[in-house]
Chains A and B, each alone.
Chain A
Amino acid sequence: MKTALRAVAALAAAVAATVMLQAIAPWAQDEVDVFLLVMVFYAVSGGRMQAVIMGALAGLTQDVFASQFLGFHAFTKTAVAYLVGGLGARLMLGQALPQFLALALATILDGVLMAVLASMSGLPPRFQPGSMFKMALVNGFVGLLVYGVVGRGLPWSRRRR
């Protein structure tokens, strides 16, 4: 029950952050994927199963705000959560550098999967490596900042493996 409430709170925070970013710094919406930060947070701090479920829910929520079809981001986030969750289970991702790399890797994987899924769906594939790497860097830095704040403020967020 507690886990479910935490997940809902994390998703609500992601929605709130998305809306606030749009109002305060609209340009940042292209650079920061808030839902990816939530998903990777679960992947590095929770179990693989939690990461997958959170990835699916975060993706579905992102679809409500940023997609014409439900299931698009949910698909990519679920797959990325599984892969990054696998890394989290095998490697020590408690430190800043590995977390940064996990965030950057997740961003790139998400972008590649989106391009593949878009081309499979008959949508124009928009694979832009430059902006994807830029987004990976920004997500990495912002993610570390957010994880630092959340990790200090919320005892439940500590590594539980």
Chain B
Amino acid sequence: MSFFSENRTPVLVVFLLVAFLLLLSFQVRVPDAGVRLHSTLLAICSPVARSSAGVVDGFGSVWRNYLYLQDLSRENRALQRRLVHLQVENQLLREADREGERLRGLLALQDQVARPTLAARVISLEVEGPFRVAVLNRGRGSGLRVNDGVITPEGVVGRITAASGRMSKVQFITDPSSGAAAVVVRTRVQGMVVGRGDNRVEMQYVSALADVETGDVVTSSGLDGIYPGGFMVGTVTRVGDGEGLQKRIEITTAVDFRTLEEVLVLLAGPPEDEHEDGS
């Protein structure tokens, strides 16, 4: 008894450190519970984070709308939003065109139909530490679900890994624990794109005999059910010998994650709540 009362702080530190290690291992063993816990904490932080984003937006908005070219700013933002949608649509159409040529138009037209998307703003970004994640200002209330894909006009960003009612967290494809099915456009060689923890990704499970060269464009293949096929992943910057009979392929991502501000979420299902929260 006296030992604990005399050493309260060291005992507390040891307890907390062990508890955090157990928490880390628990999330690895039971990912669903980890997602729920993450979503709950995200919900707790949501009011402060969203209010702060609102304050910044508010000041920015005052500047843009009342002090600096009021109408032009509004029109410009509307056009930028439209441009984002059109660029995404353009990517889909280009891939559909390639697919059509390859299969001589035998595929059904339904493959060209885009999934519904939702624009979201990045309110927090982590691209320096061991993880590559961002927090978005949209959550389950806007129709997002865990595992929804996230893209920009430049290409694939990542997937939703936790979602509260009004915020969600995105794991980038550059995160070391991420993975996405991908294909080399020129030769249709398939593989799995895995983050390396820096700002590049690696394509794995590609045979040493496969035809892949530096400069080849890599897009999502759609086989993982998260990202539809045809979205730009990046460009091959190095091809070398990997483990065993596999190639080691390094890809520079098309998306610059450091400058990410707005993204599109590929919705999987209908929204739980149609109410838009105005951000």
Contact = CB atoms under 8 A, between A and B. Distances in A.
Interface of A: 12, 15-20, 22-24, 26-27, 29-30, 48-49, 52-53, 56, 59-61, 63-72, 74-75, 78-79, 82, 85, 114-115, 118, 121, 123-126, 131
A64 B52 contact: no
Contacts of A70: 23-24, 27, 34, 37-38, 41
Given A52-B13, A66-B133, A126-B129, A71 B20 contact: yes
B206 interface: no
23 contacts: A18-B124, A19-B53, A27-B258, A49-B9, A49-B12, A52-B12, A63-B41, A65-B45, A65-B135, A70-B38, A71-B19, A72-B130, A74-B23, A75-B21, A75-B24, A79-B17, A114-B129, A115-B130, A123-B130, A123-B131, A123-B197, A124-B130, A124-B197
A68 B9 contact: no
Interface residues of B, number: 52
Interface string B46-61: 0011011101110010
A159 B126 CA distance: 33
B232 to A, nearest CB: 22
Interface stretch (B79-87, B104-112, B170-178, B210-218): B170-178
B259 A26 contact: yes
Contacts of B171: 68
A30 B128 contact: yes
A82 B198 contact: no
Contact of B49 (A15, A24, A52, A115): A15
B127 interface: yes
B123 A68 contact: no
Contacts of B131: 66-69, 72, 123
A65 B19 CA distance: 20
Task: Identify which of A12, A19, A24, A48 gathers the most chain B CB atoms within 10 Å of its CB.
Answer: A19
B42 to A, nearest CB: 6
Interface of B: 8-10, 12-13, 16-17, 19-21, 23-24, 27-28, 34, 37-38, 41-42, 45, 48-49, 51-53, 55-57, 60, 122-131, 133, 135, 161, 169, 171, 175-177, 196-198, 258-259
B189 to A, nearest CB: 25
B24 A72 contact: yes
A56 B9 CA distance: 13
A12 B48 contact: yes
A126 B198 CA distance: 8
A60 B177 CA distance: 20
B127 A30 contact: yes
A59 B20 CA distance: 10
A123 B124 contact: no
Nearest to B39: A64
A15 B126 contact: no
A63 B259 CA distance: 21
B246 to A, nearest CB: 19
Nearest to A67: B131
Contacts of B55: 16, 20
Contacts of A125: 130
B52 A123 contact: no
A88 to B, nearest CB: 12
A95 B216 CA distance: 58
Contacts of A12: 48
Nearest to B135: A65
A145 B48 CA distance: 23
A71 B56 contact: no
The 5 closest A-B pairs by CB, nearest first: A124-B197, A71-B23, A66-B126, A16-B52, A71-B20
Nearest to B50: A19
A61 B45 contact: yes
B23 A79 contact: no
A85 B13 CA distance: 12
A78 B27 contact: no
A114 to B, nearest CB: 6
Contacts of A23: 53, 56-57, 60, 123
